[in-house]
Amino acid sequence: MSGENNGSPKSKRGFASMDKGEQKVIASRGGRAAHSKGTAHEFDRAEAGAAGRKGAASMKVKLGEEYSAYMVQIGRNGGLARADKMKLKV
């Protein structure tokens, strides 16, 4: 029985119970702190491509070979869109 929800409302404690605006403010502070400290991770294009290929490989197993090229293209499009977005912020 442990781990079951049993229809009871969720606890009103912690980060997840805060309103979305408050979560965004706190997360933003954490991101700025990590960047200023030099510990924030930023994906480069090669790393993003590797992640897309890894995702496509797992989908190939789940959905079959015919979806592989489609999934690779989705990953590539997402990586390119992110790269374009990052260029605009600079």
Q: What is the pLDDT of residues 38-86, one digit of tens each?
A: 888 888 888 888 888 887 777 667 666 667 677 778 888 888 887 777 7
pTM of the full structure: 0.39
Domain parsing of the chain, residue ranges = 17-89
Q: Nearest 5°: phi and psi at 13?
A: -120, 155
- Between CA 10 and CA 22 the distance in angstroms is 19
Q: Which residue has the tokens 């490989």?
A: 57
- For 32: left if phi > 0, alpha if psi spans -120 to 50, otherwise beta; the answer is alpha
Say if residue 20's pLDDT is above 80: yes
Between 41 and 90, the higher pLDDT residue: 41
Say if residue 33's pLDDT is above 60: yes
Say if residue 7's pLDDT is above 90: no
- Between CA 36 and CA 40 the distance in angstroms is 8
